[in-house]
């Protein structure tokens, strides 16, 4: 007996419920609901037979009522009755009498039927791969083993890669960093309960920085939902505020469609999508021909054009301005060629936010470097003296401090970011690359501005002298930040990816490091310490051919030190520059600024370089200025993962 579904209106013709046998229906028979022809009907594939076989097999299971251990006759190959009376639970040593036969109908992995060899997880993973998911970062465990098995199978064919981390927080940081670098989503995987909650920080990092990311969390078995069993937390609720889209994968779900919707949401909203996998569902067998899906026809290009009217107004403002300046944020990172071309044609200086550091090399004659708390006086001067700001892909954070009283043209792909904190003169809704290309085509209508290159060069000269003065400072208690970053500016390759952390070390990087064309990855709006090292793992996955650098403090690295073993295990050649000032330097400074006693910020550290060696990486410690250049080069030229621990002065920042 079978069921046939109308693919137009979903009406089900059920032979079981008194419906005519399908073969006996006339060829001109039509759907009683929508009148579609017989040809649009499709046979409904049923999992009932599989579920029945599971229920059958589970009647021979016995549950220890003390520790929940399940004795499975099928697995053990011995019937319950055949066990001696003095047999005890192998987990908690309870006697046989506390065991209870499991009568519950459990939907579980079915025994393979002929022609069936795929599981729900295979469909999920195959569809993820079709959507371009190349990396999964995470930790395998009890409640995700079915899914892990499907990932393993496809990783063996090289279609997806799995990086097993030491803390799930590192998995979500790595996936977030992957998205920050590539603009594409990666996935992070955890078990139920504590594994899932460990993912939350990195997911928030991705969310607030507008990065697509996919979280895959295991869950305890469906039939246990509710009473608060071991590792049971309501993951839908726990992820509600971070995930823009979150759904459980259940028996009879349209599995491939759930992946489609998850990734469509992640990519188009640049946000967090979450799929919850109850343990048993992961291994439900599906027919070999169950369709996997792909993004084809499901996603539109996001290169949206701005309204012509807004663009005309912006061009008019630019025409009349004497000293316009461009401020680029991280959202402009894939559109820099067009922006630099535009700026060069019109002589407009380009300032960056901290998150956008290096999007234009500091050596470019129109570059002003970073603005704000991690910035320099060059950009501050240019902004203060400008009569129009063109803000591209930046979000007006306090850290950047864009002067809101100036006339402002703001362009962003997200209409909610436009004029979010205060009114701007002209908000333009459009993809930045598309908008700037349109402006480039109409550039003749705008007057070329007076050349600011000489003035800029003079300001840079003054700032470089000041940096040199600070680099020369020496209290005999460690190297100064300006000295460290002067060396790194010369020695880090132009094409490197630099993942940074949070703290005074990061602010100093913003101020003193002279960017060439390196990509900089940071925990922007969340500002989470600990991000730098796992982020380097994720960024390396995004572009393994580029040199990968992590710059952190001792406090931040302390949170994810275990990930050094991950880098060694997977031969990820991260060059780690660790500024060890034996304190949570940024917090000490805040306590001083607020006239409080510096308290609880001193750190009891290991010898980090020895720790690196212990993990199997190269570890070098530098205490003297004279040895810095040589040791930086040694670490950068090392083939595998390497750490340069620099004893730095917490005051000279």
Ligand X SMILES: Cc1ncc(C[n+]2csc(CCOP(=O)(O)OP(=O)(O)O)c2C)c(N)n1
Selected range binding ligand X among 27-35, 349-357, 576-584, 604-612, rule: CB under 6 A: 576-584
Least distance to ligand X, CB of residue 530, Å: 6
Least distance to ligand X, CB of residue 529, Å: 4
Least distance to ligand X, CB of residue 319, Å: 44
Least distance to ligand X, CB of residue 503, Å: 3
Closer CB to ligand X, 24 or 593, in the complex: 593
Asked if 584 is part of the footprint of ligand X (rule: CB under 6 A), the reply reads yes
Read off the DSSP letter of residue 286.
E
Instruction: Select from Mg ion, ligand X, none the partner in contact with residue 185, using the beta carbon and a kind-dependent cut-off of 5 to 8 Å.
Output: none
One residue of 583, 618, 635, 646 binding ligand X per CB under 6 A: 583
Least distance to Mg ion, CB of residue 585, Å: 4
Instruction: Select from ligand X, Mg ion, none the partner in contact with residue 219, using the beta carbon and a kind-dependent cut-off of 5 to 8 Å.
Output: none
Spatial separation of the C-alpha atoms in residues 379 and 334, rounded to whole Å: 22
One residue of 346, 360, 499, 579 binding ligand X per CB under 6 A: 579
Residue with tokens 């991690």: 374
Give CA separation, 429 vs 210, 304, 404, 564, 609, in Å. 16, 8, 19, 43, 49
One residue of 73, 221, 271, 554 binding Mg ion per CB under 5 A: 554
Selected range binding ligand X among 15-23, 69-77, 175-183, 578-586, rule: CB under 6 A: 578-586
Asked if 585 is part of the footprint of ligand X (rule: CB under 6 A), the reply reads yes
Least distance to Mg ion, CB of residue 504, Å: 7
Least distance to Mg ion, CB of residue 546, Å: 27
Closer CB to ligand X, 541 or 584, in the complex: 584
Q: What x-and-dash track marks residues 496-535 binding ligand X by CB under 6 A?
A: -----xxxxx---------------------xxxx-----
Burial class (CB in 10 A: 0-12, 13-18, 19+), 381: middle
Give just the sign of the alpha carbon dihedral 450, 453, 454, 456. Answer: positive
Instruction: Select from Mg ion, ligand X, none the partner in contact with residue 529, using the beta carbon and a kind-dependent cut-off of 5 to 8 Å.
Output: ligand X
Half-sphere exposure of 596 (CA within 13 A, CB side): 10
Least distance to ligand X, CB of residue 201, Å: 7
Residue 417 CB: number of other CB atoms within 10 A? 20
Half-sphere exposure of 230 (CA within 13 A, CB side): 7
Position with the least CB separation from Mg ion: 553
One residue of 73, 283, 554, 645 binding ligand X per CB under 6 A: 554
Asked if 587 is part of the footprint of ligand X (rule: CB under 6 A), the reply reads yes
Instruction: Select from ligand X, Mg ion, none the partner in contact with residue 586, using the beta carbon and a kind-dependent cut-off of 5 to 8 Å.
Output: ligand X
Closer CB to ligand X, 135 or 560, in the complex: 560
Phi, psi of 194 (to 5 degrees): -65, -35
Spatial separation of the C-alpha atoms in residues 345 and 337, rounded to whole Å: 12
Give CA separation, 222 vs 68, 208, 277, 517, in Å. 15, 32, 9, 50
Asked if 208 is part of the footprint of ligand X (rule: CB under 6 A), the reply reads no
Burial string for 267-283 (b: 16+ CB within 10 Å, else e) reads beebbbbbbbbbbbbbb
Burial string for 334-364 (b: 16+ CB within 10 Å, else e) reads ebbebbbebbeebbbbbbbbbbbbbbbebeb
* Residue 599 Cα to chain centre, angstroms: 34
Spatial separation of the C-alpha atoms in residues 199 and 73, rounded to whole Å: 37
Structure tokens at 437: 């290309």
Structure tokens at 175: 């996936």
Selected range binding Mg ion among 152-160, 370-378, 584-592, 631-639, rule: CB under 5 A: 584-592
Asked if 581 is part of the footprint of Mg ion (rule: CB under 5 A), the reply reads yes
Least distance to ligand X, CB of residue 652, Å: 11
Closer CB to ligand X, 386 or 481, in the complex: 481
One residue of 202, 349, 532, 553 binding Mg ion per CB under 5 A: 553
Angle 229-231-233 (CA atoms, 0-180°, nearest 5)? 80
Instruction: Select from ligand X, Mg ion, none the partner in contact with residue 216, using the beta carbon and a kind-dependent cut-off of 5 to 8 Å.
Output: none
Asked if 585 is part of the footprint of Mg ion (rule: CB under 5 A), the reply reads yes
Closer CB to ligand X, 393 or 555, in the complex: 555
Selected range binding Mg ion among 208-216, 273-281, 523-531, 577-585, rule: CB under 5 A: 577-585
- At 368, which helix (H) or strand (E)? strand 367-370
Spatial separation of the C-alpha atoms in residues 497 and 546, rounded to whole Å: 7
Asked if 218 is part of the footprint of ligand X (rule: CB under 6 A), the reply reads no
Closer CB to ligand X, 395 or 505, in the complex: 505
Taking Cα atoms as reference points, which of 304, 314, 446, 445 lies closest to residue 390? 314
Q: Which residues bind Mg ion (CB under 5 A)?
A: 553-555, 581, 585
Q: Which residues bind ligand X (CB under 6 A)?
A: 501-505, 527-530, 553-556, 579, 581, 583-587
């Amino acid at each position: 007996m079978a069921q046939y579904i109308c693919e137009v209106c979903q009406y089900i013709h059920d032979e079981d419920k008194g419906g005519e046998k399908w073969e006996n229906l006339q060829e001109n028979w039509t759907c009683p609901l929508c009148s579609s022809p017989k040809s649009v009907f499709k046979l409904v594939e049923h999992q009932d037979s599989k579920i029945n076989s599971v229920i059958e097999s589970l009647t021979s299971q016995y549950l220890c009522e003390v520790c929940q251990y399940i004795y499975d006759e099928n697995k053990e190959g011995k019937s319950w009755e055949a066990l001696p009376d003095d047999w005890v639970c192998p987990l908690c040593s309870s006697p046989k009498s506390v065991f209870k036969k499991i009568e519950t109908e459990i939907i579980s992995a079915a025994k393979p039927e002929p022609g069936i060899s795929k599981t729900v997880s295979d469909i999920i993973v195959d569809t993820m791969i079709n959507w371009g998911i190349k990396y999964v970062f995470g930790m395998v465990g009890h409640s995700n083993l079915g899914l892990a098995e499907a990932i393993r199978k496809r990783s063996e064919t090289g279609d997806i890669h799995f990086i097993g981390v030491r803390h799930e927080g590192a998995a979500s940081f790595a996936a977030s960093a992957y998205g920050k670098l590539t603009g594409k989503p990666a996935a992070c995987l955890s078990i139920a309960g504590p594994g899932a909650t460990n993912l939350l920080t990195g997911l928030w990092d991705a969310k607030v920085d507008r990065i697509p990311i996919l979280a895959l969390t295991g869950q305890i078995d469906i039939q246990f939902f509710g009473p608060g069993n071991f590792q049971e937390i309501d993951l839908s609720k726990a992820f509600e505020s971070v995930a823009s889209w979150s759904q459980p994968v259940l028996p009879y779900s349209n599995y491939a469609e759930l992946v489609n919707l998850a990734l469509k949401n992640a990519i188009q909203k640049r946000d967090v999508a979450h799929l919850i996998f109850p343990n048993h569902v992961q291994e439900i067998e599906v027919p070999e021909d169950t369709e996997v899906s792909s993004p084809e026809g499901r996603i539109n290009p996001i290169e949206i054009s701005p309204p012509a009217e807004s663009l005309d107004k912006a061009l008019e403002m630019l025409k009349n301005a004497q000293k316009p300046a461009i401020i680029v944020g991280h959202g402009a990172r894939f559109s820099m060629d067009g922006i630099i071309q535009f700026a060069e044609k019109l002589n407009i200086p380009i300032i960056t936010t901290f998150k956008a550091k290096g999007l234009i090399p500091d050596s470019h004659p129109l570059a002003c470097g970073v603005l704000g708390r991690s910035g320099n006086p060059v950009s501050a001067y240019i902004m203060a003296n400008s009569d129009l700001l063109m803000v591209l892909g930046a979000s007006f954070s306090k850290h950047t401090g864009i002067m809101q009283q100036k006339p402002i043209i703001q362009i962003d792909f997200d209409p909610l970011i436009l004029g979010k904190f205060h009114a701007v003169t002209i908000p333009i809704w459009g993809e930045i690359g598309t908008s700037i290309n349109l402006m480039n085509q109409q550039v003749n209508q705008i007057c070329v501005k007076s050349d600011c290159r000489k003035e800029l060069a003079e300001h840079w000269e003054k700032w470089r002298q000041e940096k040199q003065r600070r680099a020369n400072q020496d209290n005999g208690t460690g190297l100064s930040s300006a000295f460290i970053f002067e060396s790194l500016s010369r020695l880090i390759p132009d094409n490197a990816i630099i993942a940074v952390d949070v703290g005074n070390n990061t602010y100093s990087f913003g101020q003193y490091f002279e960017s060439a064309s390196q990509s900089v990855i940071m925990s922007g709006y969340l500002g989470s310490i600990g991000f730098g090292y796992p982020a380097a793992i994720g960024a390396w996955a995004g572009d393994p051919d580029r040199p990968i650098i992590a710059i952190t403090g001792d406090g931040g690295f302390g949170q994810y030190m275990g990930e050094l073993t991950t880098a060694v295990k997977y031969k990820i050649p991260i060059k780690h520059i660790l500024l060890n000032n034996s304190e949570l330097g940024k917090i000490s400074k805040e306590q001083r600024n607020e006239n409080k006693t510096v308290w609880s910020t001193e750190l009891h550290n290991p010898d980090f370089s020895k720790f690196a060696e212990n993990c199997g990486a190269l570890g070098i410690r530098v205490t003297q200025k004279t040895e810095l250049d040589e040791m930086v080069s040694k670490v950068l030229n090392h083939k595998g993962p390497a750490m340069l621990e620099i004893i730095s002065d917490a005051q000279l920042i």
